[in-house]
């Protein structure tokens, strides 16, 4: 459950800086707390300190005043909330942890920072316990991406980072199902075929497109947050099937960045819920 409530925003003044919108990550799987872990360690503080250590935390809107003599720094996101278990109090789930941030405005030649966001989420969770990840869900604030501002050399910025995944062991390739849902907004069905065409012709080897279907498997988890964060409840979606270079938060974050930018290029301007899992683990 939330340490501060899902709608709470501890230490954040939302109007203080320009942002892209809310990013939300939910990690599904099995998790066994370490014997040596501090039982008082909470997901919020672990994620905060990991973000700060990596230089990704934007604390320009953090609580405090001049008398605190805090040094402010820009970053990729500002803290919002986090917790263990399901944020909506649902017990019949394998949701391990969740993290909610306000993504900073995205530079014109950079992707939405899903890779670093998921890296901090996984690191914070794994520090407190042994994590076996079976699925990831991410809310993508596509409404904060502006295709018209992308430079010619980076129309879909995440493609420039694909070489990082070169040289991975062939046996690491994993068949995955990727659900992309625009809630009550019809954005995804309207662009699904073009999105699939892009994935099939993007000229990269991180994700190999195989097929797509508008029928969402019953085994895919539902939204891990309330409808107030997007145009929920879910209703308009597509499931993309293909092979990912490896099953990891980094590779999943990369394909999420690609899909967010490609959707924005095709005219989507609404938050999208992405769910990704190995096909055998749905």
pTM, two decimals, is 0.89
Three-class SS state of 23: strand
167 or 27: which leads in pLDDT? 27
Show me where the domains of the chain are located.
14-145+155-162+171-281
Spatial distance between the Cα atoms of 29 and 205, rounded to a whole number of angstroms:
27
Rounded to an integer, the average pLDDT of 88-92 is: 80
Spatial distance between the Cα atoms of 38 and 18, rounded to a whole number of angstroms:
36
Q: Decide: 14 and 102 in contact? Cβ < 8 Å.
A: yes
- Quickly list DSSP for 182-204: -TTSTHHHHHHHHHHHHHHHS--
22-78 pLDDT tens trace: 999 999 999 999 988 887 789 999 999 999 999 999 987 655 454 454 556 789 999
Whole-number pLDDT of residue 14: 45
128-160 pLDDT tens trace: 999 999 999 999 999 999 988 899 998 899 999
- Assigned token pair, 92: 């019949």
191-248 pLDDT tens trace: 999 999 999 887 789 999 999 999 888 889 999 999 999 999 999 999 999 999 999 9
Length of the chain equals 282
CA dihedral defined by 144, 146, 147, 152, rounded to 10 degrees? -120
Residue 110 pLDDT level (bands cut at 50, 70, 90): very high
Spatial distance between the Cα atoms of 53 and 57, rounded to a whole number of angstroms:
8
Whole-number pLDDT of residue 37: 81
Q: Tell me the longest C-alpha to C-alpha distance in the chain.
A: 58
Of all residues in the chain, the percent with pLDDT exceeding 70 is 88
- Assigned token pair, 223: 């939204």
Residue 93 pLDDT level (bands cut at 50, 70, 90): confident
CA dihedral defined by 270, 273, 279, 280, rounded to 10 degrees? -170
């Amino acid at each position: 459950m939330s340490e501060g409530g899902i709608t709470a925003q501890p230490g954040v003044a939302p109007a203080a800086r320009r942002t892209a919108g809310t990013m939300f990550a939910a990690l599904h799987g099995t998790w066994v707390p370490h014997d040596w872990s501090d039982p008082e360690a909470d997901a919020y503080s672990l994620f905060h300190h990991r973000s700060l250590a990596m230089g990704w935390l934007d604390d320009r809107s953090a609580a405090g005043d001049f008398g605190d003599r805090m040094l402010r720094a820009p970053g990729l996101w500002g803290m919002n909330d986090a917790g263990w278990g399901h944020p909506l109090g649902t017990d019949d789930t394998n949701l391990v942890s969740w993290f909610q941030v306000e993504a900073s405005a995205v530079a014109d030649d950079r992707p939405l920072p899903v890779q670093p966001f998921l890296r901090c989420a996984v690191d914070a969770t794994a520090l407190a316990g042994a994590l076996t990840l079976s699925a990831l869900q991410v809310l993508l604030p596509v409404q904060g991406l502006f295709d018209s501002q992308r430079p010619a050399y980076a129309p879909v910025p995440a493609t420039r980072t694909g070489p990082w995944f070169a040289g991975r062991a062939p046996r690491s390739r994993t068949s995955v199902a990727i659900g992309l849902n625009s809630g009550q907004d019809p954005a995804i069905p309207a662009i699904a075929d073009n999105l699939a065409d892009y994935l099939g012709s993007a000229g990269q080897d991180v994700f190999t497109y195989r097929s797509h279907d508008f029928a969402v498997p019953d085994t895919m988890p539902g939204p891990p947050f309330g409808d107030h964060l997007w145009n929920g409840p879910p209703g308009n979606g597509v499931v993309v099937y293909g092979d990912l270079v490896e099953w990891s938060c980094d590779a999943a974050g990369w394909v999420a960045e690609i899909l967010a930018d490609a959707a924005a290029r095709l005219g989507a301007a609404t938050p999208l819920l992405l769910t990704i899992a190995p096909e055998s683990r749905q």
